[in-house]
A and B are shown apart, each in its own frame.
Chain A
Amino acid sequence: MMELGLLAAAGEVAAPLTLLTILIGVFVGIIAGAIPGFTFTMALVLAFPFTFAMGPVQGLALMIGIYIGGLSGGLIAGILLGIPGTPSSVVTIYDGYPMAKAGEPARALGIGIASSVIGTLIGAAVLFLVGPIIGRFTLNFGPWEVFSLVLFALTLVAGLSGKHLVKGLIAACLGLLISTIGVAPAGQMRFNFDNPQLSGGLSAIPVLIGLFAVSQLLVNVEESRLDTRPAAGTGAPKIRVPYAQVIGDMWREKRNVVRSSMVGTFIGTLPAAGAESANFISYDRAKKAEKRDPENYGKGHPGGIVASESSNNAVAGGAFIPTITLGIPGDVAQAVMMGALILHGIAPGPGLFERQPVLVNSIYLSIVIAALCVLVVQTLLLPFLARVTLVPKAILVPCILVLTAVGSFAMNNRIFDIWVVVGFGIIGFLLVKLSVPLGPMILGLILGATLEEELLRALQLSDSLSTFVTRPISLTFLILAVGSIGFSLYKAHRGRKISTEAKEPVPV
């Protein structure tokens, strides 16, 4: 069954059009990741409408290409400009930028690209091995377990999304509330406020585009990072990767690359932890494990680039595990991909491995092919990509706003959806200003319908709420949900205590 699924998936993914789609996705993702201030998540959201005309495998392949390319693309701006292209490439700067300043930008980029590719492949291998095991386990899940699991994911994301726990929880609830607009599970109309446009509910995509793309573009406008000329000394240098030297560096860092990739994969499986945490932890581990010259970390050590780039790319394989086995997207990028699957009538989560073996196997293969595309595109187009980082945002912002408008319109052919984009763009911008995290809101929006449907199904099968705590797996998830809130409260309390102590005058 598994082998047949893999063969059929290979047939679909190896189709020339799908391969071209992955290549385009990788190219777009790298460019989105390379430009500071724009994120591959934004590129994923904007690419969503283009998947309407594609089949599920091809649509997912496009998104995987953008995802993998974007995770890697951040290293270009980080190494050449000292500005992280994406939040997940912050740590790459520690050693990549000093190495570039010391006259070896091509070596730093070569190490970064090689580490990205190896990290992605190790993450994909773990997904291939572990995914089916968890998938089989989730077959035991009934509505009680799924409800408790979704609840746990929401509390975890709200709690870990920043120091503002209450605001994170409010954001999650707002997302759930938005998901209730439209037709209820039993078919009744609700919350249309006498507006016929709201009868079908708010489509997730315009809301996502508004919250994540438009609000981020407005932040770019605000931050005045719109100069049309690069700062002195930041021009793109001439780049030719010294392959032999890079291979030597990678061989010396072979333990580091495996360790960091495993750390990245593990952290990727945790909702809300993400690539940002993975590269900090891997960097710290690599520095502590370095015997020869740990003092050179932060001054242009190859191991620093290896740790950061292999871990943040390995996150991809890990992040797919909860998404496809449990139906719980770990981050916004995964939420968008899950949304794409739902749009094609495929519900990720328990049973997906049995229902859609070809699709699941095509995910593994698409990740592997995307990793190879990253290697080819970044190596061959490095001089061009280095120039992309210097494209003025004053030109990009209006162009991307036009893309957001056309993308949201294309979904239902109605201008109302573009108004939704504008409205949620403003709401998203204001929420960012109020320190309200947007991640939990998106998760609430994507998982809201599942949460309500599973709750109603559970109560239809057994009208007692006690079933949620008498079933061991459901009880475990509920305990974890309470625990995650408790942990967040403890963390917030500890943070306040430390800042209070820091303010107190030191006795003489």
Chain B
Amino acid sequence: MADRLFCLALVVLVGAFWSQTTELPGPTGGAALGPAFFPRVILGLIFGLTAILLVRSFVAAEQAVSFAGFGRFLKVHWRVPAMVAMLAGYVGLLGLTGFVLSSTIFLLGGFALLIREYSKPVLIASLALATLLPFTLNWVFENVLRTVLP
């Protein structure tokens, strides 16, 4: 089932890119081929390989990747989507509050999400990292690498 969903996603991707190639101009400036030629070859190959994968997901179903345990996966490994959501929130916050503050918040949140058993050294290390790492990185990038962070 998961392989079939993957195939579906690939077909949508191929369709989206192919429709864009129809808007591209033909060869210019003495070029043998236009800008659409190479991507179309790639898209054709992806489509052909997707068809093979789709057929195999029916013919050799036991080799296909199963979708059966997805619900259980989310229940057991809820920290994975939670971490992705936190990461997205962090990127959103970067532009609003700047690198140092948003990174400190993200680190504190990340530690709270992932650390399961707190001990005194772990607590001290995590708090120290959450405050010192963003400042240190900011200093290195601004003063050594000459890159101004948001």
Write the residues of chain A forming the contact surface with B, with a CB cutoff of 8 angstroms. 49-50, 52-53, 166-167, 169-170, 173-174, 176-177, 180, 184-186, 188, 190-191, 193, 214, 218, 221-222, 224, 226-229, 392-395, 397-399, 401-403, 405-406, 409-410, 413, 415, 418-419, 422, 425-426, 429, 433-436, 451-452, 455-456, 459-460, 463, 496
Whether a CB of chain A sits under 8 angstroms from the CB of B35 is: yes
Nearest CB in chain A to that of B31: its residue: A186
Q: A394-B115, A398-B110 are in contact. Are A167 and B94 (CB under 8 A)?
A: no
**B39 to chain A: which residues have CB within 8 Å?**
177, 180, 190-191
**B2 to chain A: which residues have CB within 8 Å?**
433-434
Which residue in A418, A452, A459 is a CB contact (below 8 Å) of B94?
Answer: A418
**A406 to chain B: which residues have CB within 8 Å?**
99, 103, 137, 141, 149
Q: A53-B146, A218-B80, A435-B65 are in contact. Are A186 and B118 (CB under 8 A)?
A: no
Q: A190-B20, A409-B149, A422-B91 are in contact. Are A226 and B111 (CB under 8 A)?
A: no
Q: A170-B49, A191-B17, A406-B137 are in contact. Are A422 and B24 (CB under 8 A)?
A: no
| B141 and A410 within 8 A (CB) | yes
**B3 to chain A: which residues have CB within 8 Å?**
434
B residues 95-134 touching A (CB-CB < 8 Å)? 95, 99, 103, 106-107, 109-111, 114-119, 122, 125-126, 129, 133-134
Whether a CB of chain A sits under 8 angstroms from the CB of B150 is: yes
Say how far A425's CB is from chain B's closest CB, in angstroms.
8
Nearest CB in chain A to that of B111: its residue: A398
Given contacts A228-B119, A402-B107, A410-B147, 8 further A-B contacts (CB under 8 A): A170-B46, A186-B31, A224-B77, A394-B111, A395-B125, A395-B129, A399-B133, A455-B33
Nearest CB in chain A to that of B122: its residue: A228
| B94 and A405 within 8 A (CB) | yes
Nearest CB in chain A to that of B121: its residue: A228
A180→B137 CA distance, assembly (Å): 33
**A394 to chain B: which residues have CB within 8 Å?**
111, 114-116
A206→B126 CA distance, assembly (Å): 27
Write the residues of chain B forming the contact surface with A, with a CB cutoff of 8 angstroms. 2-3, 6, 10, 16-17, 20-21, 24-25, 27-36, 38-39, 42-43, 45-46, 49-50, 52-53, 56, 63, 65, 77, 79-80, 83-84, 87-88, 90-91, 94-95, 99, 103, 106-107, 109-111, 114-119, 122, 125-126, 129, 133-134, 137, 141, 144-150
**A405 to chain B: which residues have CB within 8 Å?**
90-91, 94, 103
**A180 to chain B: which residues have CB within 8 Å?**
38-39, 42
| A173 and B49 within 8 A (CB) | yes
A226→B50 CA distance, assembly (Å): 37
| A422 and B84 within 8 A (CB) | yes
Which residue in A188, A226, A399, A425 is a CB contact (below 8 Å) of B28?
Answer: A188
